Structure 1
Amino acid sequence: MDDTTRPHGTGPVASTRAAAEVLQADRSRTRAARRLRLRDASAALDRLAELAARLLGAPIAQISLLDDVEVVVAGAGLPPGTVGREAPLDATACAVPAAEGMPVVVPDVHAEPRATDLPQVRAGIVGSYLGAPMVDSDGFVVGVVCVAAPTPRPWSDTDVATLRQLAAAAITELELAALRTAYEGDRLRYGLAIDAAGIGTFDWDLRTGELTWDDRLIEMFGYDAESFGGTIEAFNDRVHPDDLPRVTDALQASIAALGDYEAEYRVVWPDGETRWVQARGRTLRDGDGGAARVLGAAYDTTAERAAGLRVTRVLEAMPAGFYSLDREWRFTHVNAEAERLLGRGRDDLLGQELWTAFPAAMDGAFETHYREAVRTGKPVQFDAHYPAPLHGWYEVRAWPSPEGLSVYFLEVTERRRVQDRAERGAQRLALLAQVSAELAGALDAQTATAHLPRLVVPALADWCIVTVVDPDGRPRDVGHWHADPAARPLVDRYAGARIDAMPVTAPLMRALLTGEAVMERTRAVVDLLPEGEARDLLTALAPESAVALPLRGRDRTLGVMTLYFRRGWAPREEDLATAQDVADRAGLALDNARLYGQQQALAEGLQRSLLTEPPEPDHAEIAVRYLPAAEAARVGGDWYDAFLQPGGATMLVIGDVVGHDTEAAAAMGQLRGLLRGIATYSDAGPGEVLRGLDASMALLQTHVMATATVARFEQTADELERGVTRMRWANAGHLPPLVINPDGSVAELASWRGDLLLGVDPEARREESVVTLDRGATVLLFTDGLIERRDADLDAGMARLREALRELAGRPLDEVLDEVLDRLVDGRPEDDVALVAVRLHRQDRPRPLDAGPNRVPDVVPDDPASPTLR
């Protein structure tokens, strides 16, 4: 854990034991970790662990909380039973980034003295490690997000930045879970407080005399549903005789004045028990202005009477704001919490109309939901934002009543802030994942980079232009996008004109030259541009600001992504960091493409030196192809060859050295040269040539194995007269040749058998097979990369090849080979592919023009009676 690998921090700790002692000494961190260890966040943390493994390409990802011990709360690729496990702090690598408060990068744990004693290292589970601390809003490290691999690997700055963002997302999820739990507790407490008040309601219709009580009030007066008569007499029968005159006077006064009613009195139950009841009500008038109904509520105050408690005390003690409104939207009650949340005293609010006291509540969610509750008579619940001077979000519940509206509310500004931050973090991580997928899955890095503006707009900017540097060093705009479809034609014209107009002091050019981000107000950029189309277009697009982010490779800047903002001077810091991460990933993809191109050119040069052009003997047309594996260097162990022997015979060779790397390519060159030398000096047949090659390999101690097929084409004078040719061939564990007959059929060569691979037993006997071919036939030799697939066996591949050859039988030889490669591997084989084919043209006619010139060495004899065919 070398200091040079740490992008941030105050310094290393001496050991994991020292890190554990630092953590255990800080009790405030312990309390914070315990406070944030919440089940509500477990699902989100599991997703973050899986995302960490995917984004960083690591087989293991883990999220741990740290207090007195380490607790693994989420993970991906961990052994069964790891999640939920507790471990001592001095037995975990996560104690180090937690104690240091910064990311810790360990490319090779075996080279790190502090890691060698850890159980995961000794067990071979962890070979490389990257961990980032989870820092809460109070600045305490409460846990660690880490990724690991069983073998050493480097961790890039991009990997560190990505893990830091994931750690921030994890702590956000934990804080959001803590806030959610707190708010749920508050809601439960004020709900229980309402139930605890034991309030019952009554409705006395003065026109019919009917008195309606709810169940709670019936119980309060010692009745049940059957014994309660529903009349004022039932009420009078239960009121204490000493209190009845006072209560009756209060009711009559309310009716006469069409006003409020309030009384506290004793209720005598049939068994003699006395209860105290507090009642409040109001007389409602009918259409003619007379008294129609008395509505109200009552609650049992027996237990609270001695202490003078009332329902208002319950409301005052509630942890939620509460206010009530009459039918004219005037404040009739405001509790202490509401005073605090609203920033206004109750003396100021009581009697004042809601819309006057809080005008911003009109024409919005508050007015819409309040009027809906009054209109429908049903409770409503909603979240809404109130602007200045409150500047807050509120969770509101409103219950309608005959008197008006009762409103309970909580301030949830912090919860919304944390929730919005979590959503923005998730969106940024999703954007990075999408960018990585686009760049990783594209065949052309420049094409994928050109698509970046459509990914970052409008998530990170209002519009964007991406510039790349050509091989000759000239910048070129390759992609652009605007959030407003109407502005996209202007951006298209601006992207076509701006490069030639840009001075070296422009942000784009400064970012290219320095490799650092450059932010500038657009007015300053307009002033730098000369009079002309580019300046006019930028003025018309009217962004307020822009930032040029370099697309950095390993040792150079390969382009710039310019983000434009129509409102506000600068993006949020976290959005700017995400944008730079996108630019860095694009720069790395472009750099990989550049390096791959250089490697490809070098490898192709080596390939051309190893795989030479074939000869063109009379009336025999030879064509060759070599295609490297799509995921490997453009050189491998497959090879083809075609040459003439001293006696004039044409010999074709196809071979495959076991392996898929540069060592296999080097071995291929050695075996190819040996086989050529043996065949061209000895004039021997295919079987003897393979036997000699096997013996030479043993003598020279090449220590490789290979497969090969050698075919020799022979013809006597009689066969020349009859228009046929013999193919004598031997096989060392390789696939057999295929023959396309002149009638278009494909010969199966059912009699073939493959001998032992080369390099296994130098004493192995090599058998030869002979097949007679009509002139006009085509013979194809190929390596297994042409027909082998991960999802299918070789028989299926051979069937596809035979079908393709039947369909292509009448086409020119070069076209046949190109079409076979296109149909079977689509230009991207999973393994190297080598092909060599010969077409035997008729000898009683001139050599066809499409067969090319007749090219043979001067030393080869020209004797028609020779038993070989040149």
Structure 2
Amino acid sequence: MERVGTETNGVADHLDPARALGRVAIAAAGIGIFDWDLRTGVLAWDERLLEMFGYDRESFGGTIESFDSAVHPDDVPLVHRAIREAIETAGEYAAEYRVVRADGVTRWVTARGLALPGPDGTAVRLLGAAFDSTAERDHEVRVARVLEAMPTAFFSVDTHWRFTYVNSSAEQLLQRHRDELLGKDLWDLFPEAVGSRFEKSYRLAVETGEPVNFDAYYPAPLDAWYEVHAWPTPDGLSVYFLDVSGRRRDAALAAAAARRAQLASTVAVELSETLEAEEAVGRLAKLVVPVLADWSVVTLVEPGEPRRGPRLRDVGSWHHDPGRRALVDRYATQRLASLTPQSFLNRAARTGETVVVPGDATASMLEVLVPGEASELLRHLDPGNAVVLPLRGRGRTVGVLSLFHDRGRAPLTDEDLQLAADVAGRAGLALDNARLYKEQLTLAEGLQRSLLTKPPSPDHLQIEVRYEPAAEAARVGGDWYDAFLQPDGATVLVIGDVVGHDVLAAAEMGQVRSILRGIAVATGGAPAQVLGTVDKAMRTLQTESIATAVVARLEQTPEELAQHRTRVRWSNAGHPMPMLLHADGTVEPLKDGKPDPLLGIMPDAPRHETEVVLERDSTLLLYTDGLVERRDMPVRDGMARLEALLAELAPKDLGLAELCDELLTRVLPGRREDDVALVAVRLHPQDEPRPPEAGPVEVPPDVPEDPAAPEQQA
């Protein structure tokens, strides 16, 4: 069993050294100490309490049953009721009872204590003191001895709110000697309590007859938080109270740290979930309020003319007070034009260093603002202090975060400034990444579009081409289309896809496209011959690209010309098969048996051709896999979907341009995962005038004219 006392390891282990004087007083008064752990059931007594009950260390069992066995049987119910009420309310314990000692002597014992709550508010310990009150003549004197020895502050008032008792701990916390308090009115001595939580709770306890427990802050001169337990008595009100300012301060610091950590996490998530960093950085103004500022403005720093320096643009603002947000928004739209070159914003943007606005922020900022609407708005906003932080990218300032505090709020601490700098750093890198991404996207798309030239317009054919880049720069790359005439007048259609997605893939696509186009025109060869020669040329030129492609050649023999029929011959290097929309509305995937290998893998492998005769008003469609493949849809399912959609659109009798646009609108998602190239050709009747929708005839000057054109037959 644990011992309790100044010489033991029980209750004394829980006593603060600062309370040593109280323990000395307890020992001198002959008061025994008890500590009952409600979780384990262990009841610890000091030597004085053992002696009081007639036990020695060996005979005392250290349980509540050992205590019960010494209490007079008639007093056990009363004692149990007092203990139960203290535990249930986590409040005061008070009891006076008889003890029957082992030697047959009966003594009166007076006990006072307090049930201490755990983190969840439930009592976990009952701690207190008891003394032999047999010889005492006055109950109030006996209680005073206990209360005076307790380290907890205690005072009592009568029904007229006059102090009747104050222990030494209360003297210390109330910062007044008891002679200044006893007999005086509580509300006169402590006017700040009038109308506060203290007065309301005390009066409620007196009116209802029920004890109250609460935490409340008392302003200067006490300037402290108190945990208060007050209960009414027939003579007035008794109050226990503890200074919990340290606990409150620790909790506030922990909460502030949690808010700072949450802010850093939120900013990181907001900036990492999108490549639209300008929008995300604009939202930064809202994210930092109110943890780091009462209101804020976010500014982008963009390249400007060499003589004028960078160009500033405000992209976000926020105020913690909804009624003042419009004021901040208006200020953000007006301030840049009114800033002088010496402004704190310009200094942060120019030097890339954090600028703490000196002194009174409003007065300091007005000195660097040209008089006008912006300066008047600033006077209304009236910030007390401010700090301006650069948003740094890779070796450059890409933005500025301005943080403002209303009057009455302290400037940012060093810890807050470090957090603000971390947030600004994250935002700067995100913004820089977004600009690099945009530059890469523009470069890749521009390079690719520069290589996708306008198709020819032979009299008997209408050719439409489309290219849609991927939504992400990393996905823009190797898709291409081509359409041109060979020297004998045959029309060649090409669709291809270089493996890879980036600027390098776009450049490699340009190489492969140029090689194929040059070989096809120079040799006038058929599709299989062209692809085979291209494959060998890639090996000779040490082009490390791998690509899929379809080359299709539309040609006519004299007999076919007379019959107004055209034959398409194609060769496929591992590419999705073309689709043929017949004049009657049926759709036919152009299968070609076993597919030939991709370009760049087996240059010496034989290549094959397939041909089919096309009737007038039929449409041939070549496309890249971006049209038919998704992460959640394999190519085979995508091709089946495309085939069904072509069949659905056929009865609408759409023009070729409308058909291409409708296909892209219906098939492609809003945010494309891959780039898409498309080339479509429609065969118009050769013995009729070219339809207006096909546009004018445009062919190279050295290509033979179409002998079947109506103007040539006249």
Aligned residue in 2 for 1:856: 699
Contact conserved, 1:731 with 1:753, CA < 8 A, in 2?
Answer: no
Q: Distance in 2 between matches of 1:818 and 1:304?
A: 107
Is 1:765–2:606 an aligned residue pair? Answer: yes
Compared with structure 1, are the counterparts of its residues 817 and 456 closer, same or farther at alpha carbon in structure 2 (3 Å cutoff)? farther
Compared with structure 1, are the counterparts of its residues 218 and 557 closer, same or farther at alpha carbon in structure 2 (3 Å cutoff)? same
Aligned residue in 1 for 2:202: 370
Contact conserved, 1:545 with 1:568, CA < 8 A, in 2?
Answer: no
Is 1:524–2:361 an aligned residue pair? Answer: no
Q: How does 1:356-435 map to 2 (within 5 A)?
A: 356-435=188-267
Q: Distance in 1 between matches of 2:583 and 2:363?
A: 76
Cα-to-partner distance string for 1:644-695 (whole Å, 9 max, x where unaligned): 2232211112222333345544443333233223322333322232333334
Cα-to-partner distance string for 1:372-421 (whole Å, 9 max, x where unaligned): 33333333332211111121222223344444444333322222222222
1:345 is matched by which residue type in structure 2?
Answer: H
Aligned residue in 2 for 1:639: 480
Q: How does 1:272-671 map to 2 (within 5 A)?
A: 273-277=104-108, 301=132, 315-316=147-148, 318-442=150-274, 444-472=276-304, 473-518=310-355, 519-520=357-358, 521-568=361-408, 571-573=411-413, 574-633=415-474, 636-671=477-512
Q: How does 1:223-234 map to 2 (within 5 A)?
A: 223=74
Residue 522 of structure 1 and its aligned partner are, at CA, apart by 1.0
Q: Distance in 1 between matches of 2:543 and 2:77?
A: 108
Residue 735 of structure 1 and its aligned partner are, at CA, apart by 0.7
Contact conserved, 2:477 with 2:502, CA < 8 A, in 1?
Answer: yes
Residue 814 of structure 1 and its aligned partner are, at CA, apart by 4.2
Compared with structure 1, are the counterparts of its residues 374 and 726 closer, same or farther at alpha carbon in structure 2 (3 Å cutoff)? farther
Aligned residue in 2 for 1:834: 677
Cα-to-partner distance string for 1:129-167 (whole Å, 9 max, x where unaligned): xxxxxxxxxxxxxxxxxxxxxxxxxxxxxxxxxxxxxxx
Residue 304 of structure 1 and its aligned partner are, at CA, apart by 12
Is 1:791–2:642 an aligned residue pair? Answer: no
Residue 736 of structure 1 and its aligned partner are, at CA, apart by 0.6
Residue 310 of structure 1 and its aligned partner are, at CA, apart by 6.3
2:380 is matched by which residue type in structure 1?
Answer: A
Q: Distance in 1 between matches of 2:543 and 2:593?
A: 28
What secondary structure, in the 3-state scheme, does the structure 1 residue paired with 2:629 have? coil
Aligned residue in 2 for 1:737: 578
CA RMSD of aligned residues (A): 4.2
Aligned residue in 2 for 1:844: 687
Cα-to-partner distance string for 1:502-557 (whole Å, 9 max, x where unaligned): 22122222222222333142123324434433333322333334333333332333
Q: Distance in 2 between matches of 1:224 and 1:279?
A: 12
Cα-to-partner distance string for 1:213-262 (whole Å, 9 max, x where unaligned): xxx999844437899xxxxxxxxxxxxxxxxxxxxxxxxxxxxxxxxxxx
Please report the TM-score for the alignment, with normalisation by the length of structure 1. 0.62
Aligned residue in 2 for 1:110: none
Compared with structure 1, are the counterparts of its residues 793 and 418 closer, same or farther at alpha carbon in structure 2 (3 Å cutoff)? farther
Q: Distance in 1 between matches of 2:253 and 2:37?
A: 24
What secondary structure, in the 3-state scheme, does the structure 2 residue paired with 1:559 have? strand
Cα-to-partner distance string for 1:164-193 (whole Å, 9 max, x where unaligned): xxxxxxxxxxxxxxxxxxxxx99999x999
Q: Distance in 1 between matches of 2:330 and 2:504?
A: 52
Q: Distance in 2 between matches of 1:223 and 1:187?
A: 25
Greater Cα shift, 768-777 or 750-759: 750-759
Q: Distance in 1 between matches of 2:335 and 2:315?
A: 12
Q: Distance in 2 between matches of 1:674 and 1:366?
A: 90
1:854 is matched by which residue type in structure 2?
Answer: V
Contact conserved, 1:193 with 1:314, CA < 8 A, in 2?
Answer: no
What secondary structure, in the 3-state scheme, does the structure 2 residue paired with 1:505 have? coil
Contact conserved, 1:717 with 1:865, CA < 8 A, in 2?
Answer: no
Contact conserved, 1:222 with 1:269, CA < 8 A, in 2?
Answer: no
Aligned residue in 2 for 1:777: 618
1:513 is matched by which residue type in structure 2?
Answer: R
Is 1:716–2:557 an aligned residue pair? Answer: yes
Calculate percent identity across the aligned residue pairs.
55
Q: Distance in 1 between matches of 2:423 and 2:537?
A: 56
2:107 is matched by which residue type in structure 1?
Answer: W
Q: Distance in 1 between matches of 2:145 and 2:640?
A: 89
Contact conserved, 1:657 with 1:704, CA < 8 A, in 2?
Answer: yes
Count of aligned pairs between the two proteins: 609
Cα-to-partner distance string for 1:57-114 (whole Å, 9 max, x where unaligned): xxxxxxxxxxxxxxxxxxxxxxxxxxxxxxxxxxxxxxxxxxxxxxxxxxxxxxxxxx
Greater Cα shift, 314-323 or 266-275: 266-275
Q: Distance in 2 between matches of 1:324 and 1:376?
A: 18
Q: Distance in 2 between matches of 1:596 and 1:272?
A: 93
Residue 818 of structure 1 and its aligned partner are, at CA, apart by 4.5
Query: Relative contact order: is structure 1 or structure 2 higher (C-alpha 8 Å, sep ≥ 6)?
Result: 2
Q: Distance in 1 between matches of 2:694 and 2:400?
A: 51
Q: Distance in 2 between matches of 1:848 and 1:570?
A: 77
1:846 is matched by which residue type in structure 2?
Answer: P
Contact conserved, 1:604 with 1:634, CA < 8 A, in 2?
Answer: no
Contact conserved, 2:70 with 2:100, CA < 8 A, in 1?
Answer: no
Compared with structure 1, are the counterparts of its residues 382 and 187 closer, same or farther at alpha carbon in structure 2 (3 Å cutoff)? farther
Contact conserved, 1:218 with 1:225, CA < 8 A, in 2?
Answer: no
Residue 490 of structure 1 and its aligned partner are, at CA, apart by 3.4
Cα-to-partner distance string for 1:569-612 (whole Å, 9 max, x where unaligned): 75322444433433333333332333333333433443245433
What secondary structure, in the 3-state scheme, does the structure 2 residue paired with 1:486 have? helix
1:461 is matched by which residue type in structure 2?
Answer: A
Q: Distance in 1 between matches of 2:99 and 2:368?
A: 93
2:312 is matched by which residue type in structure 1?
Answer: P
Q: Distance in 2 between matches of 1:821 and 1:268?
A: 96
Q: Distance in 1 between matches of 2:179 and 2:42?
A: 28
Please report the TM-score for the alignment, with normalisation by the length of structure 2. 0.74
Aligned residue in 2 for 1:255: none
Residue 277 of structure 1 and its aligned partner are, at CA, apart by 1.2
Q: Distance in 2 between matches of 1:550 and 1:662?
A: 31
Q: How does 1:98-117 map to 2 (within 5 A)?
A: none
Aligned residue in 1 for 2:8: none
Contact conserved, 1:301 with 1:310, CA < 8 A, in 2?
Answer: no
Is 1:706–2:547 an aligned residue pair? Answer: yes
Compared with structure 1, are the counterparts of its residues 357 and 698 closer, same or farther at alpha carbon in structure 2 (3 Å cutoff)? same
Compared with structure 1, are the counterparts of its residues 277 and 555 closer, same or farther at alpha carbon in structure 2 (3 Å cutoff)? same
Residue 799 of structure 1 and its aligned partner are, at CA, apart by 4.2
Q: Distance in 2 between matches of 1:441 and 1:538?
A: 34
Contact conserved, 1:544 with 1:567, CA < 8 A, in 2?
Answer: yes
Contact conserved, 1:322 with 1:406, CA < 8 A, in 2?
Answer: yes
1:511 is matched by which residue type in structure 2?
Answer: A
Greater Cα shift, 413-422 or 403-412: 403-412
Compared with structure 1, are the counterparts of its residues 807 and 445 closer, same or farther at alpha carbon in structure 2 (3 Å cutoff)? farther
What secondary structure, in the 3-state scheme, does the structure 1 residue paired with 2:383 have? coil
Q: Distance in 1 between matches of 2:99 and 2:277?
A: 89
